[in-house]
C-alpha cells in the first residue's frame, strides 16, 4: 500500500517576489517530502530591495481558507508566520483550539529585513499572551527574541537567558537564531543557535558562511522544522536537519555570488 505524504499547513504572508513567506514555505515543505497547504494572512508588496506595503486578510477570510483544507486533510504539522493584526492572531488561536490543530512552529515575523513593520503593536501583545503558550517551538532571530522577552542579547549567554524568559511566557520550546550576533572584523565566527526544549538546552554551532543577504531563511528554517515534525522526528532532530538545509541554501547563494 502506498503511503501518502504528510500534510504541513503554513499560515503566513504572501511575498509576490517569491523570496520569502508562503512561497518559500511551500517550496521547503515539498522538498522535504511533505504535501504543502497554505493560507494567506497578508499580501505584501516587496522585492529584494525591501517591503513597500501590504494589505491584510480578515479573520473571516483566513478561516474560509483554512476550513476546506482541514476538512479534506489530516494536518500533520502547522507552521505560522506573519500575523499582522490582533484579529488574525486571535483567529489562529481559535482555529488551533476548535480544530485541534498540531502545536505550531511559530516564526514571529515582526519586521522585514529592510525595517518595515509587519505586526501591529496590539497583535504583538495577543501573540505573547494567547498564542505563545500553544506553540511547539518559536523560532525568533535575536531582535525578535529581544522584543518578545525584554532581554538584551549580545552573546550566547544572552540567547540562553532570553530563551528561558520566553519559556516562562508559555512557550514549550524556543530556538533563538544567532545570525544577528555582531561579528568582529577579521575574526573567525561560528553560526550559533540556541535551542531550549522544555529546559533542555542545546547550543548548535556551525561554520559562518560569508554570503550576500539571503531572503527567506527564517521561513525556510521554520518550515523545514515543521516538515521534520510531520515525519515524526524529535524536535532536536528536526531542528538539526533544518539548519543543515538552510546552510546548504546559503552556501548556494555564496557560490552564485562568487560566480
pTM: 0.92
Q: Is 154 left (phi over 0), alpha (psi -120 to 50) or beta?
A: alpha
175 lies in which domain range? 7-258
Residue 183: which CATH number? 3.40.1190.20
Instruction: Give pLDDT, residue 226.
Output: 98
Is residue 1, in this structure, part of any structural domain at all?
A: no
- Within 10 Å of residue 18's Cβ, how many Cβ atoms? 14
Residue with C-alpha cell 493584526? Answer: 85
Q: For 89-114, how does the pLDDT look when each residue is reduced to its tens digit (9 = 90+)? A: 999 999 999 999 999 999 999 987 76
The pLDDT of residue 19 is: 87
Bigger pLDDT: 71 vs 180:
71
At residue 178 the predicted structure's pLDDT band, cuts being 50, 70 and 90, is confident
How much is the average pLDDT of 181-210? 74
Distance CA 214, CA 180 (A): 13
Number of domains in the chain: 1
> What 3-state DSSP class applies to 175?
strand
- Strands 105-106 and 75-80 turn out to be parallel
End-to-end, the C-alpha distance of the chain in Å comes to 46
Q: In angstroms, rounded to a whole number, what is the distance separating the alpha carbons of residues 144 and 148?
A: 6
Q: How far apart are CA 69 and CA 86, in angstroms?
A: 23
Residues 140 and 119: their CA atoms lie apart, in Å, by: 14
Residue 127 lies in a domain: yes
Amino acid at each position: 500500500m502506498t503511503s501518502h505524504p504528510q500534510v504541513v499547513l503554513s499560515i503566513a504572508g504572501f511575498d509576490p517576489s517569491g523570496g520569502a513567506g508562503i512561497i518559500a514555505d511551500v517550496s521547503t515543505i515539498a522538498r522535504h517530502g511533505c504535501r504543502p497547504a497554505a493560507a494567506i494572512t497578508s499580501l505584501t508588496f516587496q522585492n529584494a530591495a525591501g517591503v513597500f506595503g501590504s494589505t491584510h486578510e480578515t479573520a473571516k477570510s483566513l478561516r474560509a481558507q483554512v476550513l476546506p483544507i482541514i476538512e479534506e486533510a489530516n494536518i500533520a504539522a502547522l507552521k505560522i508566520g506573519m500575523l499582522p493584526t490582533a484579529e488574525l492572531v486571535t483567529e489562529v488561536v481559535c482555529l488551533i483550539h476548535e480544530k485541534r490543530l498540531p502545536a505550531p512552529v511559530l516564526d514571529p515575523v515582526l519586521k522585514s529585513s529592510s525595517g518595515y513593520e509587519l505586526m501591529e503593536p496590539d497583535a504583538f501583545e495577543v501573540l505573547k499572551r494567547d498564542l505563545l503558550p500553544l506553540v511547539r517551538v518559536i523560532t525568533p532571530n535575536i531582535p525578535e527574541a529581544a522584543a518578545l522577552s525584554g532581554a538584551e542579547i549580545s552573546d550566547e549567554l544572552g540567547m540562553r537567558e532570553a530563551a528561558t524568559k520566553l519559556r516562562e511566557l508559555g512557550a514549550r520550546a524556543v530556538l533563538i537564531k544567532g545570525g544577528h550576533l555582531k561579528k568582529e572584523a577579521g575574526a573567525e565566527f561560528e553560526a550559533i543557535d540556541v535551542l531550549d526544549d522544555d529546559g533542555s538546552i542545546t547550543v548548535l554551532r556551525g561554520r559562518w558562511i560569508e554570503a550576500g543577504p539571503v531572503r527567506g531563511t527564517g521561513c525556510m528554517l521554520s518550515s523545514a522544522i515543521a516538515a521534520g515534525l510531520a515525519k515524526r522526528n524529535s524536535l532536536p532532530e528536526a531542528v538539526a536537519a533544518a539548519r543543515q538545509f538552510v546552510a546548504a541554501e546559503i552556501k548556494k547563494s555564496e557560490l552564485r555570488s562568487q560566480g
